[in-house]
Chain A
Amino acid sequence: MSKVIVVTSGKGGVGKTTTSASISTALAQKGKKVAVIDFDVGLRNLDLIMGVERRVVYDFVNVVQGEATLKQALIKDKRVEGLYILAASQTRDKDALTQEGVERVINELKEDGFDFIVCDSPAGIEKGAQLALYFADEAIVVTNPEVSSVRDSDRILGILQAKSRKAEEGGAVEEHLVLTRYNPSRVNAGEMLSKDDVVDLLSIKLLGVVPESQDVLNASNSGEPVVLAQDTDAAQAYLDIVERFLGGEVDHRFLEEEKKGLFKKLFGK
């Protein structure tokens, strides 16, 4: 059974694409067949973060519009077996996507035996975002621990409950929360909302917390999903997230301020 996952947030810049890239990569590492689709038409990012921007010949819009086949457009990842990327077009706008076209692409991916189809949603609540979430079975809502991001996530959860196909059929999209850019010391200083505040307001299940880290930026700049930088906290956090997503029990990490030992205090990091 293929599952369609939408990675969404409402607000921009919270880490949707980073999360999409890392979760897809980690799922593929676990032996699943994964397609990750960039719905942010006109502002493609996913191909950059996945390091495949120079290999894009045909994109998602070409397939939706019938100008290319899915086979031609899917880019096979060179690092991880079973991971495929469908890039967004840079030269079109979001109106180039149609509901029928998106449905056709998703159905075709399902027929091709993909276990997971990850839809990387654009920011906002307009057409592009709505198309990304419409066919979802599960939603991963990415939030930063600050008020405006949490509000926007609340809004997008409302839209998931009202405008997804599952909701229209009387069901519900399963909702997961990923809290990114979490900085325990700033939480303790009262500069950031705590994990509990966010979970309390959104009242959905927490899938994991990704700590704020320079490694994420470094990984993005080098065109590699951060989850592949194994020894970093962010990578560990994403691996935990995928483990939990697949039903495993893993304790939450990265919630407490790192205690600096004497050695670290003396010599810095």
Chain B
Amino acid sequence: MSEQVIELKGSVLSLTVLHIYSADINETKASLAKKIEQAPSFFVGIPIIIEPKIELSDPTFLALLVEYLHQLQMIPIGLRSKDPVIQEQATYTGLAIFPEDTRRPTNEGSDEKPRAAIQEKQPEQPAEPNYAPVVMDEPGLKSALVIERAIRSGQQIYAKDRDLIVLGSVNPGAEIIADGNITVFGKLQGKAIAGTAGCMNAKIFAKQMNPELVCIAGIYQLADDIDEQYKNNGLVEIRLKDEQLIMSAM
């Protein structure tokens, strides 16, 4: 029996990125010290990626910064920059080089407009307003995304990595999607898709429902397949059991 000794796998991790806006090492150090003073224990042992936002002409800057971060008990592991000069410095200092930021563009320093999800031109405005804003980068506990209004035909709400609670109705032609559970306090008449990331324990609760489609972890039922007794007849719980959607009136 050969036991597996090692395995190389790709993994997406959440790391802290340190943006540098000053080419002056002393100023940077002072600013770092001040930041860490606010929560000394929080930064101990955390991996750091350095991302200079300005041109660094001083060839010792990176080495000094890495040294200082070590002193502060942080662990600089890499650099993100496309400047070949800084990249070269990084290899001397033993830092890994990460590709340039390819996530969705942030407001600062990025000129390129986000790709339009909707065709029409809306100057100076990322064309994604049909979706509820979803904050995705915060680590730790994620509370449910709560939508207090009705979700209308053509609108789509996605609660990434969390539950979704809708206080209004989900009208026909609307779509609500959550990686966690879904609860609807109004009428559920559109599509509800829970456990999108594959969570088999996700559930859907609706106070009153006649949905176009319900789906948990990829297992779905269309309106016609849903037993009439659950339609427009009070609170219903939908869960997954043995790859089958089980509905029960509550």
Contact = CB atoms under 8 A, between A and B. Distances in A.
B171 A154 contact: yes
A130 B125 CA distance: 14
Interface stretch (B69-77, B149-157, B199-207, B241-249): B149-157
A157 B152 CA distance: 7
B47 interface: no
Q: Is the interface of A mostly helix, strand, loop or mixed?
A: helix
B122 A151 contact: no
B7 interface: no
A159 B154 CA distance: 9
A126 B120 contact: yes
Given A151-B172, A151-B173, A203-B168, A158 B130 contact: yes
A206 to B, nearest CB: 15
Interface string A107-142: 000000000000000000011001000000000000
B99 interface: no
B154 A167 contact: no
A77 interface: no
Nearest to B168: A203
A158 B154 contact: yes
A168 B129 contact: yes
B169 interface: yes
A99 B121 CA distance: 10
Contact of B152 (A99, A127, A130, A158): A158
Interface of A: 99, 126-127, 130, 151-152, 154-155, 157-159, 161-163, 167-168, 201, 203
24 contacts: A99-B123, A126-B120, A127-B120, A151-B153, A151-B172, A151-B173, A154-B152, A154-B153, A154-B154, A154-B172, A154-B173, A155-B153, A155-B154, A157-B152, A158-B155, A161-B152, A162-B129, A162-B155, A163-B129, A167-B129, A168-B129, A201-B169, A201-B171, A203-B169
Sorted nearest first, the 9 A-B pairs with minimum C-beta distance are A158-B152, A162-B129, A154-B153, A155-B153, A158-B155, A155-B154, A154-B152, A162-B130, A154-B171
